[in-house]
Amino acid sequence: MPTGIVEEGRLVVEGTRISATIPENAQVIDVSTHWLVPGFIDLHNHGGGGASFTSGTVDEVFKGIHTHRLHGTTTLVASTVTGDMDFLTQRAGLLSELAEQGEIAGVHFEGPFISPCRKGAHSEALLRDPDPAEVRKLIDAARGRAKMVTLATELPGGIDSVRLLVEHGVIAAIGHTDATYEQTTAAIDAGATVATHLFNAMPTLGHRHPGPVAALLEDERVTVELINDGTHLHPAALELAFHRAGADRVAFITDAMDAAGFGDGRYWLGPLEVEVADGVARLVEGGSIAGSTLTQDRAFQRAVTVDRLPVEAVVAALSANPARLLGMDDRIGSLEPGKDADLVLLDADFALKGVMRRGEWVVDPQLG
């Protein structure tokens, strides 16, 4: 996969793909003062535009998907939150149909197999240990479209569930966990390869008890999710993750809920009520952070202009790394001939100006 910045280059789109040849009568758009980057990929997203992937109708889910496309996310994995098993299997069926249609890349189950000590914005009454038989029910309900399951792998059945997920080609993610360093390394050795929103909903890094953060950062087999909204992470924590894991093991996610791209107000995240004020989502009862209102274009702009990360590292975190993790890097994640024409156009200040998905403008740059 190519990396680096190309100046005074050109990119040809023919049909739905990037092409190596220029067709006759091609329309030329001059973007010489702009940045052209691959479409953003979001591994962890609960909704947007006022719509929830966990509880919305098909039309509402489409609204959430389209909201994020308007902000440059051309590929997303739809995430659920903790619910009872019958409800989650029903949602898996609905979301898998959208995956089969190519509207989403798959389904991510965040909960119910998580720790009550680190539940965050999940209903404690609905939490359960990760029984491999129940994990298998969710996989089966998603009809081959389950992409990831977040587990507190220290719970009874956790390690066996990791092995089950690996056997079925589903990403096992460690998150909402109270695991020790040693328990985390055991889960990684069993096949877990993702840290669900690193630092959040897990013990803090300690000098005598390093906990999961140290184990997840140090192991080259693990991709770490980061929510770069200025609320979930201090800039120093973001810098630590990039420095220790390296730019090829970081994936920016939104962990977005309904209010992303919509506005402040009252919302529901599963069975829990959320108050969004000044763009920050918190549970009405207890005040825990409840996902985010982040969109990936804002994550990109903040990473470059506030966190001062290299553009190449940010592009990797938003495109190449998640594409590779999903096993879709033969189609998306970089600007190469033969790949899907998923593009984001940014101005000199890294503000979004255009979005193309599979050769069609979602946001028309109107540059002439």
Q: What span, in angstroms and rounded, lies between the C-alpha atoms of 81 and 45?
A: 10
Strands 352-357 and 360-363: antiparallel
Cα–Cα distance, 98 to 319 (Å, whole number): 21
Q: Give the separation between CA 168 and CA 178, rounded to whole angstroms.
A: 26
Strands 12-14 and 352-357: unpaired
DSSP string, 142-183: TTT-EEEEEE-TTSTTHHHHHHHHHHTT-EEEE-S----HHH
Closest to 137 (Cα-Cα) out of 118, 116, 155, 112: 112
Question: CA–CA separation, 190 vs 153, rounded Å?
Answer: 10
Q: What angle do CA 333, 360, 227 make, to 5 degrees?
A: 40
Residue 255 designated active-site? yes
Q: Which of 42, 219, 255, 340 is catalytic?
A: 255
Task: Provide the residue type at 258 as one letter.
Answer: D
Before 212, cis peptide (omega within 30)?
Answer: no
Residue 143's contacts (CB-CB under 8 Å, 6 or more residues apart) are 92, 93, 96, 100
Sequence-distant (≥ 6) Cβ neighbours of residue 219 within 8 angstroms: 185, 188
Residue 139 corresponds to which amino acid? Answer: I
Q: How far apart are CA 364 and CA 368, in angstroms?
A: 10
Helix or strand or coil: residue 288?
coil
Q: Hey, which residues are catalytic here?
A: 255
